Amino acid sequence: MNKIKAIVLDVDGVIVGDKAGFNAPYPSLEVINKLKQIREKGIYIILCSAKPYYSVKKIVDDAQLNNIQTALAGAILIDSSNLTVVKKHVIENNIATGLTKKILDNNIYIEAYTTDKYFIQKNQKNEITKLHNFTLSFEPIMVEDMINQIKKSEIIKILPVTKTDEERKIVEQIFSEYKERLVIGWSTHPAIKGYFFGNITTSGISKKQSILEIVNLYQIKTEDILGVGDSLTDWDFIGVCGYAGAMGNATKDLKKLVLSKGRSGYVGKSVDENGIIDIFEHFEL
Looking at every residue in the chain, the average pLDDT score rounds to 95
Specify the pLDDT at position 2: 65
Q: At 30, is the pLDDT very low, low, confident or very high (cuts 50, 70, 90)?
A: very high
Per-residue pLDDT, averaged over 21-43, amounts to: 96
Specify the pLDDT at position 26: 94
pLDDT digits (tens, 9 = 90+) for 224-258: 999 999 999 999 999 999 999 999 999 999 999 99
Quote the CA–CA distance of 43 and 14 in Å, as a whole number.
Answer: 18
Specify the pLDDT at position 137: 86
What residue segments make up the domains of the chain, in order of their start? 6-88+206-282, 93-202
Instruction: Provide the CATH topology of domain 93-202.
Output: 3.30.1240
Q: At 267, is the pLDDT very low, low, confident or very high (cuts 50, 70, 90)?
A: very high
Above 90 in pLDDT, residue 164? yes
Specify the pLDDT at position 135: 86
Specify the pLDDT at position 1: 52
Above 90 in pLDDT, residue 52? yes
pLDDT digits (tens, 9 = 90+) for 97-151: 999 999 999 999 999 999 999 999 999 999 999 988 888 988 999 999 999 999 9
Above 90 in pLDDT, residue 41? yes
* Class of the CATH-defined domain 6-88+206-282: alpha beta
Specify the pLDDT at position 55: 92
3-state secondary structure the chain: CCCCCEEEECCECCCECCCECCCECCCCHHHHHHHHHHHHCCCEEEEECCCCHHHHHHHHHHCCCCCEEEEHHHCEEEECCCCEEEEECCCCHHHHHHHHHHHHHCCCCEEEECCCCEEEEHHHCCHHHHHHHHHHCCCCEEECCHHHHHHCCCCCEEEEEECCHHHHHHHHHHHHCCCCCEEEEEECCCCCCCCEEEEEEECCCCHHHHHHHHHHHHCCCHHHEEEEECCHHHHHHHCCCCEEEECCCCCHHHHHHHHCCHHHEEECCCHHHCHHHHHHHHCCC
